[in-house]
Amino acid sequence: MNILELKNVQREEGQIFYIRKYTAIAVVELPTETVDTPILFSIETGPFGDKKLSVKIIEAPNYPILPIITSLKPYILKNDKEGRLPT
């Protein structure tokens, strides 16, 4: 399984400046097919710069969710570090 890209990434406005919430469509390559899966995720920055990420899959494909979330987390953090997420 491989995460190919995040499409239509949109940031939701919030009142708490250290929590950023996003909606997106994750393009996931599964062993049998490639699927577009809508997701919600948030990145919370701690007082020492550490980041806590939570991911929720809105519409689950016909595949176990835990491996997808496990693959999405480093992909999202890498995109955040490289500045590819909306600010």
Q: Tell me, what's the pLDDT at 87?
A: 82
Q: What is the distance between the alpha carbons of residues 5 and 24, in angstroms, rounded to a whole number?
A: 10
Beta strands in the chain (DSSP E): 2-12, 19-29, 34-45, 51-57
Residues 6+ positions from 23 with CB-CB distance below 8 Å: 8, 9, 10, 12, 38, 39, 40
Q: What is the pLDDT along the chain (87 residues), one digit of tens a residue?
A: 899 999 999 999 999 999 999 999 999 999 999 999 999 999 999 999 999 999 999 999 999 999 999 999 999 999 999 999 998
Q: What is the distance between the alpha carbons of residues 15 and 7, in angstroms, rounded to a whole number?
A: 25
Pairing of strands 2-12, 51-57: unpaired
